[in-house]
Structure 1
Amino acid sequence: MQSLSLILSRFSLSHYDPEKLEYIRKLILAIFEARRIVASYNLVIVVLILVVASLHWRRKRNDHWKWRQRVERQPSAGDAEASASSSSSSTIQGSLTPPTTSKPLDMERLPLLEAKSPRRAARARISSSVSAWLVRQPPPLPFVNRTLPSNGTSLLVICWLGLNIFIHLFRLPFCWDFFYIFADRAGLVFIVNLPLLYLLGAKNQPLRWLTGYSYEALNIFHRRVGELMCLEAVIHFISMVLWQFVIAPEWIRVLTKTREYWVHPIILCGLGAFVSYELLYFTSLGSFRQRWYELFLATHAFLQAAALVFLYFHYPITRLWVLLSLCIFLVDRFMWRFWLKRSHVTADLSILEDGETYLVSADWGIPPLPPTQSRWWWPTFSKRQSVVYGWEPTDHVFLTVPALGRSFYLQAHPFTIASAAPGTGTELSAGKHAWLSLLVRAHDGFTAELLRYAETHARVPIILDGPYGSTHALEMLRASGCAILVAGGSGIAVTFPLVWALLHQADRQSDEAEDEGSGDIKAVRRQKVRMLWVTHSRSHQSWIPEQQLDELVARGLDLVIPQPTAEAGRPDVCGLVSGWIADGVADGQEVSVVVSGPDGLNMSVRNVCADAIGAGGEVRVAVEKFGW
């Protein structure tokens, strides 16, 4: 951003001309007005976050209430029969088409108009249609084949973009003499988005707790903020150059020579920040990350630090925002990730049947809580934040293996925890055991090196950074009467811990009821839990031990594992899931669906749920996908 002092210096040389004096005065007033307008941006963002947070906590409270109602309500005789029948489910393997017990989605069975007046029915249809459209995911963009998020997410991004465009153009003097204001406003929009960019990129952030979104979901907004900022930086750079050498009045342009302009410290720092953030953008593209993930990791932190330093010295007004962003970055990286969340353990390495997948597993006893556990600040500012003290289903950790070499000591790669979660919080007593497994598929770089290491070593010391994640999916499933989970390939690392938590918690609550002498099975056992696992190869089914799947089936899981797609093609996932949804809706239950797999599978299941919502069904869906 060109310094305001350059304009003031020109004013000192042109004060003898009243017209030039008036022009400089109007220009300075417009600049300060732009400062006031842009300063309101973060206030609007805070209000929007609070609105989303209030909606999330309302839903969270309702989910908890529904869950407690199902736990505490005594079942009827018919419910007991339903519970008994659900516990007799068995594993279905080798079926290409859905079982005959599942029926296609029948719109007639969905109670949209039941006991409703015509006016209320019309409102219900409109509400269902809007909700279905928000949930629906459009097909990928043609030519570039870029996957799009759900319509609801896209709408939220568009509203945020509209707010930024409004801030950029509001009360902007649209004339060439004041083109400097347009260029300056682009820089201001860049600056005020800076803390939001670093907040969304932090692994430990209040937005996850406030809104319920996981880091993976918030990462979508992080990338859109980064893209807008890079665009604003380009606009700011080009506009300033055009102003200085083409558009500015002649009496301003002649005051600064070309070489003097480009070697000015303010301009040099601005160029350094511009180049750093543009390189950040290009190295953060999905195609770059997939091919050179290690290089992405190495450059990301360095370029962020360099960009902040350049920006700090580029223009005085940026310093408050730069310091705030630097504080977010340092607290997240050093206080949380390098101290509170960091754990050193020794893991076992075991190569699975396909020869390209292996398990990194470790186990330990949950440490006893320190004496300071009674203090209110202890759960937040303590090592209890690390994975050693437990985790929740769908959580992930960052894995570092220093034994692979010096270059790998600074690399941290994310993996979903594929084993059952012991939970977190004060309910964990000393002596409880934690079993952690990471399912790793070898590609290039780090995963290939670790596979070669596993061929000659059975154990390796590792560093774990985590856990990270959100309990939204688990809370949504607990609150529903019918829980449906769909896994594609390694997506089983997400769905298996969720199913394990649902069914084992139900048994624990039933045991508590028996201990209390009630003699009744609690209603949580009546919840239907169904899971579909689509694999590409038969060897992939060894990723989860068969005895663990059999145990879940014995506890009531309705499990379907079709024949591998490499042998029989793709199964009719949409038909099976729609039949399960129709069964749940027909029984008057709320249906919750969690899907984790390739983009095509996620989109298909999401749109099946959108169809059911549009038909009046009470259906919720969560997509667990990691986009690193």
Structure 2
Amino acid sequence: MKSWSISAVLLLSLLTFVKAHDYGNACYIMCSSYIVGYYTTTTCGDDDDACQCTNYIYAESYALCLYEVCYEKEILDAWNLWIEDCMEDNNVSASGTYESNLAAGLADYVSSDSVNDTIPASTAVMPEYDYFRKRYLARFEIIHNAKWSEYFGNILNAYWGFVILCGAIKQVCDRFLPRNGSQLGIVSVFRRYITLPAGFGSSHIEPIRLGKVPVWTVYLRWQIIVVFVFFSLSIIFIFVNMSVINGEPIYVYNSLMQTNNLGVRAGYLANEMLPLMFLFAGRNNILMWFSGFSFETFNIFHRWVARMMFIFTCVHGWTYTSFYLNVGSAYDAAPDAYYLGDVVQDWGDMVGIIACVMAGCMMIQAAYVFRHHWYEVFLSLHMSLAAVFYAMVWYHIQANSYEEYMYCALAVWCFDRFIRICRIILAGPFTKATVTVHGDAVYISAKPSIHWRPTPGQYAFLYVLRHNAWESHPFSIMESRDGHYIFVAKAHAGMTKKMHKSVTKKSGTDEVRVWIEGPYGFSHALYRYDTVLLVAGGVGITSIISYALDLKRRGGQRHVILYWMVRNEISLNWTRQQLADVMEGGQIEVHLYVTGEADPSQDKEIPDSQSTSELEEKEVAALERLPILYNVRPDITQVIHDIVAAANSSVAVMACGPGSLADVCRSATTANVGNGHGRVDYFEDAFTWA
């Protein structure tokens, strides 16, 4: 009996991990394994399922086991499972009905004490109640744990659904509720202390540093709350609603049963996180449109779902490793006998270990310091590790028939890639772009095959085919008068630095082939506010100036103020057309600060690949009227305070630029919520996922 018991424990503990469709499985699995262990015939082998389906002694013994051991309400479910398996797996009809086999068995049976796997029975076998009842209860508890594991996984998915629903409700309110009038006190308090501020301190986009090394960024407070609740629920769900059966004969020791239950629970939860992890990472995540959350926000959610999945995976791997290292002692064998025999020599288990290692590598290389300094390397390595991880997980769980989560994750990934390709094709796969250099800024002008008018705040990913065609980088879109799309970026490391160097070598102008993938992003409804403050730093003007032009086109009596801080005057060259349009008519108040070293006495027209004599007269006049202040920065905190105090109604503050500037704007706006005569809101455009 001992030989079949050990193998049945190991096989059935894995089988119930995925076949727990209902509690009738506990009866079915326990009674069918019991009969195979105690009964053999000269015509049916242990693995000859088709023969067993038509063997009357097997059928009668199975009916007796259900009758003696199982709960009455589960007997018919267990019997029907056997009938279904006989038809689906072996294409044969089982012998008789439950009632007929039970009656025949009760009329002529022997006790299980009188037979074993070496002494065949010639008649039906009745199980010994106490021993097999505990086996059944243990099996019942295993399936009960599997069921609750599914429920808890569904609750975690439902939690994210609730978060998305809250975002959708907020988006509707922002779009349709009036901005004018005083705010309810509780609403102002909630926004001032929950939705607007950084988690702690005033830093959000600007990273926290250890010495000179940036190590992490602080989430917004509401994002921290969302992640904390998810993390807390996940940790709780790993451990709750599990129990052991004292004295049960399957695992022998309570610690082994508890270890198995914990491994099953963690495995289920990890599996259910997989589709969410892929969905939250996608650029074409449909939940972004429904919730109004930005790609940056979903990237935060993606990282924490992935981290939680990694924890689940580690718990799953650790518990099953511990189980197999210790199960031998329960059956008078070497403690590690089953680990060496059933894990090390089983490729399906080994790939699970490899998947766990891959997940650990992704956790390490996805740390902020690596993403920030070597983003291209991080992205390429991350995608490669994810592909290996996915393949290993697929192989690991395919034997357990739980591939639906893998199919779902794969479908999400394929949908995202398909939409990306469609966007590139619609924009024109053979688009040429003119690249020029203005100081440390790279200026790209391209006209896609199919014109789509970008709304303020939208961006696109550019693939520069000359420089690593597989890489893409986000650029804010600024439209020119002739329908070209203008993308501007500061030359940092990676692709922008390569472009800056290659164009500089060609007298500051070059032509390259690009793929345009976009547009992405949302446009903030600044037109719904009576006073709008636009704050830009450096190349952040590309987004801000689009909003300024949009507000001007919409007309109305709103008061619009634009502050732009830039390092040197040469940046005026790549915005002169748009600046002229903004200043025309005087509806928008412009304040320009050149913070770098500059000589106020020199002309404002800066030499460039295009001389100022070629500029339109309107643009020249606009540039000459620019109120430029040199070698000084505005006190943005005071500016925001004064504007909110002077405004008679709603105020919107919009910022785009360096992290330190955006953080000051957020902090100052948050401090003034509830202080004005109407609603005060803050918006920002920033690519903070790197």
TM-score by length of 1: 0.73
Mapped contact 2:654–2:683 kept (Cα < 8 A): yes
Structure 1 residue 436: Cα displacement: 0.7
The residue that corresponds to 2:150 in the other structure is 36
The separation in 2 between residues aligned to 1:358 and 1:245, in whole angstroms, is 59
Aligned with 1:463 (options 484, 509, 515): 515
Moved more, 9-18 or 445-454: 9-18
Cα distance change, pair 245–254 in 1 and its aligned pair in 2 (3 A):
closer
Mapped contact 1:213–1:470 kept (Cα < 8 A): no
Structure 1 residue 504: Cα displacement: 2.1
Cα distance change, pair 394–125 in 1 and its aligned pair in 2 (3 A):
closer
Higher relative contact order (CA 8 A, sep 6+): 1
The residue that corresponds to 2:220 in the other structure is 150
1:495-536 deviation line (CA, Å, top 9, x unaligned): 111111111232xxxxxxxxxxxxxxxxx2x11111222223
Q: Which runs of 5+ in 1 are unaligned?
A: 71-109, 113-123, 368-387, 423-432, 507-523
Aligned 1:526-605 pairs, distance under 5 A: 526-545=557-576, 547-555=577-585, 556-564=587-595, 568=631, 570-584=633-647, 587=648, 589-605=649-665
The separation in 2 between residues aligned to 1:248 and 1:317, in whole angstroms, is 27
Aligned with 1:393 (options 443, 456, 479): 456
Aligned 1:63-462 pairs, distance under 5 A: 124-134=184-194, 135-137=196-198, 138-139=200-201, 140=203, 143=210, 146-173=216-243, 176=255, 177-246=257-326, 250-251=330-331, 253=335, 256-258=338-340, 260-315=342-397, 316=400, 318-333=402-417, 335-342=418-425, 343-344=428-429, 345-352=431-438, 354=439, 356-363=440-447, 367=450, 388-404=451-467, 408-419=468-479, 433-454=482-503, 455-456=505-506, 458-462=510-514
The separation in 1 between residues aligned to 2:519 and 2:573, in whole angstroms, is 25
Structure 1 residue 317: Cα displacement: 5.1
The separation in 2 between residues aligned to 1:27 and 1:501, in whole angstroms, is 63
The separation in 1 between residues aligned to 2:137 and 2:671, in whole angstroms, is 60
The secondary structure found in structure 1 opposite 2:483 is strand
Aligned with 1:46 (options 149, 157, 161): 161
1:535-575 deviation line (CA, Å, top 9, x unaligned): 23444444422x53243123411122234066746431111
Mapped contact 1:186–1:236 kept (Cα < 8 A): yes
Moved more, 493-502 or 166-175: 166-175
Structure 1 residue 247: Cα displacement: 8.1
The residue that corresponds to 1:512 in the other structure is none
Cα distance change, pair 478–170 in 1 and its aligned pair in 2 (3 A):
farther
1:585-613 deviation line (CA, Å, top 9, x unaligned): xx1x1111111222222222112111111
Mapped contact 2:436–2:510 kept (Cα < 8 A): yes
> What is the identity, as a one-letter code, of the residue corresponding to 1:223?
R
> What is the identity, as a one-letter code, of the residue corresponding to 1:459?
E
Structure 1 residue 624: Cα displacement: 1.6
> What is the identity, as a one-letter code, of the residue corresponding to 2:550?
A
> What is the identity, as a one-letter code, of the residue corresponding to 2:175?
K
> What is the identity, as a one-letter code, of the residue corresponding to 1:186?
A
The separation in 1 between residues aligned to 2:209 and 2:517, in whole angstroms, is 38
The separation in 2 between residues aligned to 1:533 and 1:172, in whole angstroms, is 60
Structure 1 residue 259: Cα displacement: 5.2
> What is the identity, as a one-letter code, of the residue corresponding to 2:501?
R
The separation in 2 between residues aligned to 1:236 and 1:8, in whole angstroms, is 12
> What is the identity, as a one-letter code, of the residue corresponding to 1:461?
R
Cα distance change, pair 530–310 in 1 and its aligned pair in 2 (3 A):
same
> What is the identity, as a one-letter code, of the residue corresponding to 1:453?
S
The secondary structure found in structure 1 opposite 2:406 is helix
Tell whether 2:683 aligns with 1:622.
yes
Structure 1 residue 27: Cα displacement: 4.8
Cα distance change, pair 314–499 in 1 and its aligned pair in 2 (3 A):
same
The secondary structure found in structure 2 opposite 1:554 is helix
> What is the identity, as a one-letter code, of the residue corresponding to 2:658?
P
TM-score by length of 2: 0.67
The separation in 2 between residues aligned to 1:320 and 1:488, in whole angstroms, is 48
> What is the identity, as a one-letter code, of the residue corresponding to 1:462?
V
The secondary structure found in structure 1 opposite 2:484 is strand
> What is the identity, as a one-letter code, of the residue corresponding to 2:313?
A
The residue that corresponds to 1:104 in the other structure is none
Tell whether 2:609 aligns with 1:495.
no
The separation in 2 between residues aligned to 1:317 and 1:62, in whole angstroms, is 49
Mapped contact 2:442–2:496 kept (Cα < 8 A): no
The separation in 2 between residues aligned to 1:330 and 1:125, in whole angstroms, is 46
> What is the identity, as a one-letter code, of the residue corresponding to 2:239?
L
Mapped contact 1:531–1:560 kept (Cα < 8 A): yes
1:317-354 deviation line (CA, Å, top 9, x unaligned): 54111110100101111x211234443311111111x2
Structure 1 residue 24: Cα displacement: 4.2
Mapped contact 1:397–1:414 kept (Cα < 8 A): yes
Cα distance change, pair 350–142 in 1 and its aligned pair in 2 (3 A):
closer
Cα distance change, pair 439–248 in 1 and its aligned pair in 2 (3 A):
farther
Structure 1 residue 462: Cα displacement: 1.1
The residue that corresponds to 2:11 in the other structure is 5
Percent of residue pairs bearing the same amino acid type: 21
Mapped contact 1:179–1:247 kept (Cα < 8 A): no
> What is the identity, as a one-letter code, of the residue corresponding to 2:419?
W
Cα distance change, pair 197–4 in 1 and its aligned pair in 2 (3 A):
farther
The separation in 2 between residues aligned to 1:8 and 1:467, in whole angstroms, is 47
Structure 1 residue 453: Cα displacement: 2.6
The separation in 2 between residues aligned to 1:528 and 1:249, in whole angstroms, is 79
Structure 1 residue 626: Cα displacement: 0.6
Moved more, 247-256 or 183-192: 247-256
After superposition, the CA RMSD in angstroms is 3.2
Q: Which runs of 5+ in 2 are unaligned?
A: 1-8, 17-29, 39-115, 117-130, 245-253, 598-629
The separation in 2 between residues aligned to 1:317 and 1:569, in whole angstroms, is 66
The residue that corresponds to 2:176 in the other structure is 61
> What is the identity, as a one-letter code, of the residue corresponding to 2:366?
S
Aligned 1:601-612 pairs, distance under 5 A: 601-612=661-672
Cα distance change, pair 615–276 in 1 and its aligned pair in 2 (3 A):
same
Mapped contact 1:418–1:492 kept (Cα < 8 A): no
Structure 1 residue 615: Cα displacement: 3.3
> What is the identity, as a one-letter code, of the residue corresponding to 1:442?
A
Mapped contact 1:35–1:188 kept (Cα < 8 A): yes
Cα distance change, pair 27–265 in 1 and its aligned pair in 2 (3 A):
farther
1:75-120 deviation line (CA, Å, top 9, x unaligned): xxxxxxxxxxxxxxxxxxxxxxxxxxxxxxxxxxx968xxxxxxxx
